[in-house]
Amino acid sequence: MTLESSVRYILGLGPAVMMPLFITLLGLLFRQGFQKSFRAGLTAGAGFIAVGLVVGLLVNVVGPKAMAFATVLGLKLDILDVGWPMGAAVSFASPIAAALIPIVLGLNVVLVVVKFTRTIDVDIWNYWHFIYTGALIHAATQSMPLGILGACLTAMIIFKLADWTAPVVEKHFGLPGISLPHTETLNWAPLMFGLERIWAHVPGLAKLEADPKAVRAKLGILGEPLFMGAILGILLGALGAIPLWREGKYGAWAKDILTLSVTMAAVLIVLPKMVAILMEGLIPISEGAREYLQKRFPGRDLLIGLDAAVVIGHPANMAIALLCVPIMLLLAVVLPGNRMLPFGDLAALPFYILWGVAAARGNMVRGLLNAIVVLVLILWIGTSLGPLTTELAKAAGFSPQGMGAGAEAYTQWSGVALGSHVVPWMVLKLFQPGARWQGVLALTGFFGVWYWVRRSPSEEPVKEAPAPAEADAKDEAAKDAPP
Amino acid sequence: MKKILVACGTAVATSTVVAKKLEEALKARGFAVSIDQCKASEVPSKAAAYDVIVSTTEVDGTAGKPLIRTLSFLTGIGIDADIEKIAGFLK
SS3 call for A305: strand
Instruction: Give the pLDDT mean for A285-301.
Output: 80
Please give the mean pLDDT across all residues of chain B. 89
Domain boundaries, chain A: 3-476
Distance from CA of A157 to the nearest CA of B (A): 22
Q: In this structure, which amino acid lies at residue A119? A: T
Question: Is pLDDT of A392 > 80?
Answer: yes
Q: Which chain B residue is nearest to residue A128, measuring alpha carbons? A: B13
Instruction: Give the pLDDT mean for A105-133.
Output: 93
Largest CA distance in chain A: 75
Strand A412-414 with A119-121, pairing: unpaired
pLDDT of residue A369: 96
Put simply, the answer to whether A122 touches B75 (Cβ < 8 Å) is yes
Query: How is A106-150 classified by DSSP, letter by letter?
Result: HHHHHHHHTTS--EEE--GGGGHHHHHHHHHHHHHHS-HHHHHHH
Please give the mean pLDDT across all residues of chain A. 86
Interface test with A, best of B15, B16, B22 (most A CBs within 10 A): B16
Q: Which residue has the higher pLDDT, A61 or A181?
A: A181
Residue B38 catalytic? no
CA distance linking residue B63 with residue B43, whole number of Å:
9
Q: Where are the beta strands (DSSP E) in A166-290?
A: 178-179
CATH of the domain at B11: 3.40.50.2300
Question: Is pLDDT of A453 > 90?
Answer: yes
CA distance linking residue A286 with residue A308, whole number of Å:
16
ipTM confidence = 0.81
CA distance linking residue A19 with residue A277, whole number of Å:
13
User: For residue B67, what are the domain limits?
Assistant: 2-90
Instruction: Give the pLDDT mean for A206-234.
Output: 82
SS3 call for A79: strand
Chain B residues touching A315 at Cβ < 8 A = 58, 60
pLDDT of residue A399: 64
Question: Is pLDDT of A482 > 80?
Answer: no
Put simply, the answer to whether B58 touches A314 (Cβ < 8 Å) is yes
Q: In this structure, which amino acid lies at residue A47? A: G
Instruction: Give the pLDDT mean for A342-357.
Output: 91
CA distance linking residue A265 with residue A230, whole number of Å:
5
pLDDT of residue A12: 72
B residues 3..32 contacting A (CB < 8 A):
8-14, 16-17, 20
Put simply, the answer to whether A310 touches B8 (Cβ < 8 Å) is yes
Query: Which span out of A181-190, A211-220, A225-234, B51-60 was modeled with the highest average pLDDT?
Result: A181-190
B residues 44..73 contacting A (CB < 8 A):
44-45, 55-60, 71
Tell me which residue in A280, A294, A312 faces B40 most closely, judged by beta carbons.
A312
Q: Which chain A residue is nearest to residue B74, measuring alpha carbons? A: A306
For A161, residues 6+ apart whose C-beta sits below 8 A from its C-beta are A181, A186, A187, A189, A190, A450
In this prediction, residue A401 has a pLDDT band, given cuts at 50, 70 and 90, of low
Query: How is A388-446 classified by DSSP, letter by letter?
Result: HHHHHHHHTT-------TTGGG--EEE-HHHHT-HHHHHHHHHHSTTTHHHHHHHHHHH
CA distance linking residue A345 with residue A216, whole number of Å:
19
pLDDT of residue A282: 84
